[in-house]
Each structure stands twice: as C-alpha cells, then as structure tokens.
Structure 1
Amino acid sequence: MYGNEQEGFGQYQQSDLAIQAAAANPHQLVLMLFNGLMDELVRAKSHLAAHRYERKAASINKCIDILNALTSALDFDKGGELAVSLANLYDYCVYRLYDASHKLSVEQIEEVEAILGNLQQGWEKMGQTA
C-alpha cells in the first residue's frame, strides 16, 4: 500500500508541476528549472554518500538534462555576451558533473552547487526588480 501511495504522490507532484509550468512566464520557468536542478544536486550527493551508484548516475543525468535545457533556453541574439558566458558556465558545470560522477566526488558536485546557487540568486533578484 505504501508504494502505491508514494506513486500517487509522485503523479500528483508531476501534474502540479505541469500546471505551474503552463502558467509560468519565461523567467519563472528558468527559476523552476534552477529549483529542480538544485534539488537534484542534493539528491545526487545523497546517493553518492550512500553508495547508491545507479541512482547517483540517474540524478547526475537529470542535472545534465536540466543544464542542457537552460542552455537551449538562452537567447543568444538578445543576450549577447551574457548568454555566451552563461552557456559556457553551464557547459563547465556539465563537464564537472560528468567528472564528479566518474570520480565519485561529492566535492565536485558541491562546486557545481555553489556556481549554480549564485546564478539562481541572480535570477531570483532579477525577478524581484521586474
């Protein structure tokens, strides 16, 4: 019974997230991606610490997918150098996550967390001034 309840909750969370995404503006969507990314980085570290390597790999892959989504959302025509710099930073984070996964390094995941945490704060502040 517990497994079915957990599965139902997961489906509820996914449908709630889909509703939020449908109503969100582009800025809010980026923040949603960052929130999901930061949560998944915490999960990846937890899986690594508990030696759940398959789950760690799945979490790292989710993080990389989100970083790729953030990169594809960049507007290089309007964003200019800033968009290029963000793309390079996202690429660096992807590289570090691949390396962290291979080397089983919590420290490298924490490095990515710090970089992305700063970016997330910038996006949040930008939303407050808009």
Structure 2
Amino acid sequence: MLMDDSGFDAYQQVEVEAQAASASPYQLVLMLIDGFMDNLTRAEGHMAANRLKERGEAIGKCIDIIGGLNSALDMRQGGELAQQMNQLYDFCSMRLFEASVHNDAGKLGEVRTVMGNIQQGWHNFGVAHDA
C-alpha cells in the first residue's frame, strides 16, 4: 500500500525543519534555492500535463521562495552584488508571473537558467569556503 501523500508531506516538512534548525546561513540559502528548483520542476510538469491549479500553486511557491531570498539580501553591506541579486530575483519573479499567466514553458526555462546559475554559484562558494 502506498503512503498517504499528506503523511509523506508532513514527514518531509519535519525533515526540512530539522535541517533548517541546524543550518548555517549559507546552508539555509542553498536549501531555499534547492526547494525553489524542486518547485520549478513541479511547475514544469504540471504545465506540460495542463494541470492549471497545481501549476499555479507550484509557481506561487517559487515566487514565495524568491521573495524570501530577496528579503535576505543586505542591500547596505552587500553593495553592488546585492543590487544585482535583487535585479535577478525581480527578473525571475516577473518571468514566473508571465509564465503562469500565459502558460509559457519558455519563461520557466529562462528562470531555470538564471536560478541554476545562482545555485551553482552557491555550491562553488561552499566548496571554496568549506561551508
């Protein structure tokens, strides 16, 4: 018998909360980006299957995660890098909105490229700094 989805979701939520409680700021950002990429994959799948409600929910989660990443930027101390990240997050949020409104998988692909580059940058940062 397959596990009830709500039970599995609850288990995953507890696991994420446990990881977040002991994570460094670097690890928290990486967890958010990884969660973003997972939800983006879901959105792409729902879009391909024409499941509009689920697509909208997955894109909404992506937008929420980007909002969290953006709000964590220290615009005062982060200088030009923080401003550039802010612009990238704004670009991704707008593309996600457009993808949802126009059911445009190409816009999701644009966001995947940008966020994939950011994700790779964070991985490289962690390797370089043994985070």
Distance 1:124 1:73 in 2: 18
Aligned length: 129
CA offset digits 1:30-77 (Å, max 9, x no partner): 000000000111100100110100100001100000000000011112
Question: Who is 2:122 aligned against?
Answer: 123
| Counterpart code for 2:29 | V
**1:34 equivalenced with 2:33 (yes/no):** yes
Structure 2 unmatched ranges of 5 or more = none
Q: Give the TM-score normalised by structure 1.
A: 0.95
1:9 deviates by: 1.6
* Pairs within 5 Å for 1:99-114: 99-114=98-113
Alignment RMSD: 1.1
* Pairs within 5 Å for 1:15-94: 15-94=14-93
| Counterpart code for 2:80 | E
Q: Give the TM-score normalised by structure 2.
A: 0.95
Distance 1:93 1:10 in 2: 27
